[in-house]
């Protein structure tokens, strides 16, 4: 026991018919990010630095739903949000409604470190970004062709009340042609974009940190805020653990999921895996979600009640695993 540990995720709720080459792509990215984190941990970087660095890498890569590659809002633009929390002192930073900031998680960190507040959103957040001199790009930078296609499908799906069949229009870079009875957030799983990326770390000094970033729900109302930037819901870290969640935003918010893992550890004395299992089993009602967590003792755990979660984890004693399914 003890030693550093790290976990990353690329979203819970994966289409069981996801083509193998897409699965490989995802695993490669998770592995790369995991290695980035491991390298930083071996160089004694602090947990808060590592989670920022890893999530930043995930945002830059267009594969998952954060930064570049974010899901599109109803009007076809990208609105990103993120949060970060340092278990050592429980300081936190969050941002929502970003449209030009290349790395939302880094802006969240700046809110935590360089502003008198914990959460900035929309034009105020963009102004702060300009003041801080972070890298800014046009909104088009974040939009991928694939997501343009997905948005179209989502709009069509949202007008179909009971029929899960997706018309095979256009996009063959995703598995939308397959029928899937499983729905998340009102969208068939083949169209639903797993909502977030996240990273949790405990460093060699036992300090925990967590960070989560997302473009949000495909076809969301503009101005909609999900669980990812909400401390206690999508992200939480304290001296006992670090947690990052993904899945149906409503379920995660109502269940204050990230805080819940820490609360049962703190108030009920459960160990990390027990706490994670308890929360996934008992706190989700009809909601679908997943989470990753680390404890100050060097444990790492994940749990989900969805069909799969893109994830990877590693510990100092050499354990490493990247997985999608159960």
Give residues in contact with other proteins (CB under 8 A): 85, 90-92, 94, 96-97, 115-125, 127-128, 185-186, 220-226, 230-233, 236, 249-250, 253-256, 259-260, 263-264, 267-268, 285
Pair 92, 118: CB distance under 8 Å: yes
Instruction: Give the containing element (helix H, strand E) for 57.
Output: helix 47-60
Q: Which is nearer to other proteins, 27 or 254 (CB)?
A: 254
Classify 3 in phi/psi space as left (phi over 0), alpha (psi -120 to 50) or beta. left
Pair 206, 191: CB distance under 8 Å: no
What is the spatial distance between Cα 67 and Cα 135, in angstroms, rounded to a whole number? 12
Residue from 31, 60, 100, 196 carrying the catalytic annotation? 196
- Least distance to other proteins, CB of residue 263, Å: 4
- Least distance to other proteins, CB of residue 89, Å: 9
Between the alpha carbon of residue 140 and those of residues 49, 65, 132, 186, 283, the distances in Å are 28, 15, 22, 26, 38
Tell me which residue has tokens 């009640």.
Answer: 305
- Least distance to other proteins, CB of residue 192, Å: 13
What burial class does residue 274 get, using C-beta atoms within 10 Å of its C-beta: 0-12 exposed, 13-18 middle, 19+ buried? middle
- Least distance to other proteins, CB of residue 234, Å: 11
Q: Which is nearer to other proteins, 177 or 270 (CB)?
A: 270
Instruction: Let me know if 306 is a catalytic residue.
Output: no
- Least distance to other proteins, CB of residue 243, Å: 12
SS3 (DSSP) at 261: helix
Q: Which is nearer to other proteins, 283 or 311 (CB)?
A: 283
- Least distance to other proteins, CB of residue 124, Å: 2
Pair 47, 316: CB distance under 8 Å: no
Q: Which is nearer to other proteins, 253 or 301 (CB)?
A: 253
What is the spatial distance between Cα 80 and Cα 32, in angstroms, rounded to a whole number? 23
What is the spatial distance between Cα 28 and Cα 10, in angstroms, rounded to a whole number? 12
Q: Which is nearer to other proteins, 62 or 249 (CB)?
A: 249
Q: Which is nearer to other proteins, 28 or 117 (CB)?
A: 117
Classify 65 in phi/psi space as left (phi over 0), alpha (psi -120 to 50) or beta. beta
Between the alpha carbon of residue 325 and those of residues 19, 106, 183, 319, the distances in Å are 14, 30, 17, 18
Catalytic residue list: 196
């Amino acid at each position: 026991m003890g030693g550093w540990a790290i976990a990353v995720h690329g979203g819970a709720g994966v289409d069981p018919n996801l083509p193998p080459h897409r699965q490989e792509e995802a695993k490669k990215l998770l592995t790369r990010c995991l290695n980035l984190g491991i390298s930083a941990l071996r160089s004694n970087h602090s947990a808060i630095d590592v989670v920022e660095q890893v999530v930043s890498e995930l945002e830059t890569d267009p594969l998952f739903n954060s930064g570049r590659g974010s899901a599109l809002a109803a009007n076809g633009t990208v609105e990103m949000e993120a949060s970060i929390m340092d278990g050592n002192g429980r300081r936190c930073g969050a941002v929502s409604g970003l449209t030009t900031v290349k790395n939302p998680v880094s802006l969240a960190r700046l809110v935590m470190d360089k502003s008198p507040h914990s959460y900035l959103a929309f034009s105020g957040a963009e102004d702060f970004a300009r003041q801080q001199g972070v890298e800014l790009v046009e909104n088009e930078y974040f939009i991928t062709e694939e997501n343009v296609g997905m948005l179209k499908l989502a709009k069509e799906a949202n007008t179909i009340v009971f029929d899960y069949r997706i018309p095979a229009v256009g996009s063959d870079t995703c598995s939308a042609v397959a029928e899937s009875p499983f729905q998340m957030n009102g969208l068939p799983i083949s169209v639903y974009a797993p909502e977030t990326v996240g990273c949790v770390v405990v460093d060699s000094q036992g300090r925990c940190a967590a960070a989560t970033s997302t473009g949000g729900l495909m076809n969301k109302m503009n101005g909609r805020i999900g669980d990812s930037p909400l401390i206690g819901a999508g992200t939480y870290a304290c001296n006992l653990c670090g947690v990052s969640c993904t899945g149906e935003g409503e379920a995660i918010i109502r269940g204050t999921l990230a805080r819940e893992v820490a609360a049962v550890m703190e108030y009920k004395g459960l160990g990390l895996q027990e706490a994670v299992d308890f929360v996934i089993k008992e706190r989700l009602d009809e909601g679908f979600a997943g989470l990753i967590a680390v404890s100050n003792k060097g444990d790492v755990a994940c749990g989900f009640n969805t069909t799969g979660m893109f994830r990877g984890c590693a510990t100092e004693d050499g354990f490493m695993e990247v997985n999608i399914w159960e």
